[in-house]
Amino acid sequence: MKLSYLFIRTLKEAPADAKSTSNKLLLRGSYIRKVAGGIYSYLPLCSIVLKKIKKIIREELETIWAQEIIIPLLNPQDLYPPVSIKKKEGSFYFKDRSGRTMSIGTSSEEIITDLISKEVRSYREMPLFLYQIIRVLRDDNKAKGGLLRPKEFFLNEIYSFHTSIEDLEKGYKKICEVYLKIFKICGIDMTVLPSYSEDGYEGSKFLIFNELGDELIYVCPECGYMATSEKTDFFISEETFIKEESSPVESVFTPGKKTIEEVTAFMGEEPTSFAKTLLFKTDGKPVAALVRGDRELNPHKIKKLLNVKKLEMADDKLVEKVTGAPVGFAGPVGLGKIPVLADLEVKNMQSLIVGANKGDYHIKNVMPGRDFNISHYGDLRMAATGDLCKNCKKLLEVKSAFKLAEGFKIEDKYTEPMKATFFDEQSKEHKIIMGSYSLNISQTMAAIVETHHDENGIIWPSSVSPFDVIVLLLEPSDEKQKEIALNIYNFLKKEGVDVLLDDRDSRAGFKFKDADLLGIPLRITVGYKAVKEGLVELKIRRKNKNIVFPVQEVISEVKNLFKM
């Protein structure tokens, strides 16, 4: 490719609203252009990089006999029994001309499970690994960092199907190993941590640390303990305090004040004086859980305490049925026989301010035991700033990260309601067991730039670089320079090297800066020395080091560097 033909316009400065390093450099290097918040056009150089990442993914998935399919982008919502009443967050829903509800942007679990339920019948057909590489849309109000969290991106989805939980474990391990190898080839040092899916299934997240990331990771600087926020275990003091008798319960009019922030501001109280009451549903029955006003409940800990497989947030109708009040005014007093769980911190609160189970009202001076009963106390909250390491009792540090990939053992979440079954050796029918995995390809490209760059620009690993070599022709009007540059360019192309020739009629300094910014691994400079002394300059981008070679040895040196 000759740069004079390439659709490219580099920028001296990044736009003011570009915050992450990758966003700044990809914009400056003419890899992407912003259309709107979280929405980008992928220009030719970016397209080449993405193709190379996709090629790596396909090649590695072939090693575990995964097969590529293409699933419809449009998902008819009436085809499948709903696994959850809630719509998938971030998806786009609309009605077609016939009035049928469709979605775009949802993951493909229902479609793929429907397909498997009709096509797979025997244990002999599993394990089965199917994958796709698709363009995905997300209505994400947290889009930030350019391609680190975009609203539109390329995604690799993998679905695995198994005859047993034991076989799922084996398949899950295989795919996690493949994902790690993909990231290693792409030059990313990945942190993999155990996690839960939103509905509580075990799995893992593949993370890179970044100050703009929305995943919170708790790290102990003393013993090295590290965990995602939903998995973090922290030290809990067993010390209890003697409570004094509180004043009688007092009702407070709080018109339209539903959130902790609204109520604390209205009443002039600290969040630590409040106990939030959240309602859940398990086995079709409601359960209430309390946590201090400045904390967040961890549903996974509630599931563990109750020893249940499924736990769902109560919808608005159930909340109103149980409390007799609109959402935002739920409290533990007067819930009757509904079990009330409470986080251990609530145990040591002198008195509580809670929802009154009455619209526009809260109540204060509430005491557990006197005004309502608690069924179980336990560690029910998410980790927070200030928590101590469970192992060594040192202060946990909180770091931000982006999630590039994830995998979850979703077992029979979809296969049971959608009746996806198989017959074993004795012709007995069983539920198919399932795993679900995804890798964000666009995000991976951005993560590579976050990892590989310097003050001058991107430094692509050779595995994903848009070109292997860039040849700089410093003076296109000099016919002898031009001939040498073209000869090198043509020889490298014949040897199978992806080479870019900068034949633009521009200043030498401009070409040098662009070559560094674009991040191509090897630069060959053809200038006056090539004509006068038969010498050209090689620069290995990641070493930022220039080496002079005779023109006749350039091709063999390039082949040696790339081990061709």
How confident is the model over 469-517, as pLDDT tens digits? 999 999 999 999 999 999 999 999 998 999 999 999 999 999 999 999 9
Residue 125 is classified by DSSP as G
> DSSP 3-state assignment of 171?
helix
- Bridge pairing between strands 522-526 and 535-540: antiparallel
| Residue 311 pLDDT level (bands cut at 50, 70, 90) | confident
Q: Judge whether residue 9 has pLDDT over 50.
A: yes
**Mean pLDDT computed over 531-555:** 90
Q: Is the pLDDT of residue 85 over 50?
A: no
| Angstrom distances, CA of residue 214 to CA of 142, 152, 537 | 9, 17, 44
Residue 20 phi/psi, 5-degree rounding, is -80, 155
432-466, pLDDT tens digit by residue? 999 999 999 999 999 999 999 999 999 999 999 99
Cis preceding linkage at 299, omega within 30: no
CB atoms < 10 A from the CB of 193, how many?
17
End-to-end CA distance of the chain: 20
Q: What is the pLDDT of residue 363?
A: 95
Instruction: List residues bridging with 310 in a β-sheet.
Output: none
Residue 23: pLDDT above 90?
yes
CB burial of residue 167 (10 Å; 0-12, 13-18, 19+): middle
DSSP for 399-438 reads EEEEEEEEEEEEETTTTTTTT-EEE-TTS-EEEPEEEEEE
What percent of the chain clears pLDDT 90, i.e. is strictly above it? 78
Is residue 474 within 8 Å of residue 481, measured between CB atoms? yes
Is the pTM above the cut of 0.85?
Answer: yes
**Residue 268 exposure: Cα atoms within 13 Å on the Cβ side:** 0
Check: CB of residue 200 under 8 Å from CB of residue 303.
yes
Work out the angle between the directed axes of helices 44-62 and 441-451 (0-180°, nearest 10): 110
Q: Tell me: the pLDDT tens digits for 235-255?
A: 988 666 556 667 889 999 999
pLDDT in tens, 201-226: 899 999 999 999 989 999 999 999 99
Q: Which pLDDT score, from 0 to 100, does residue 559 have?
A: 83
Residue 376 to residue 4: CA distance in whole angstroms: 71
Residue 312's pLDDT is 85
* Phi, psi for residue 436 in degrees, rounded to 5: -135, 135
Q: What is the pLDDT of residue 259?
A: 92
**397 pLDDT exceeds 80?**
yes
Instruction: Please give the domain boundaries of the chain with CATH numbers for all domains.
Output: 50-213+400-449 (3.30.930.10), 250-378 (3.90.960.10), 467-561 (3.40.50.800)
pLDDT top residue among 79 and 29: 29
Would you state the pLDDT for residue 276? 94
Give the confidence band of 560 by pLDDT, cuts at 50, 70, 90: confident
- What residues pair up with 67 in beta bridges, in sequence order? 130
User: Using 50, 70 and 90 to split pLDDT, how confident is the model at 105?
Assistant: low
30-39, 74-83, 418-427: which range is least confident on average? 74-83
Q: Model confidence over 179-204: pLDDT tens digits? A: 999 999 999 999 999 998 877 789 99
**Which token pair is 303?**
């599931």
Across 20-34, 124-138, 150-164, 295-309, least confident range: 295-309
| 369-379 average pLDDT score | 91
Interval 523-539: pLDDT, tens: 999 999 999 999 999 99
Confidence of residue 396 (pLDDT cuts 50, 70, 90): very high
| Gap between the Cα atoms of 286 and 335, Å rounded | 10
Question: pLDDT value at position 139?
Answer: 83
Separation CA 452–CA 450 (nearest Å): 6
User: What is the chain's mean pLDDT, rounded?
Assistant: 92
**Where are the alpha helices (H) located in 220-329, listed in sequence order?**
260-267, 299-306, 316-323
Give pLDDT, residue 555. 87
Residue 178 pLDDT greater than 50, yes or no: yes
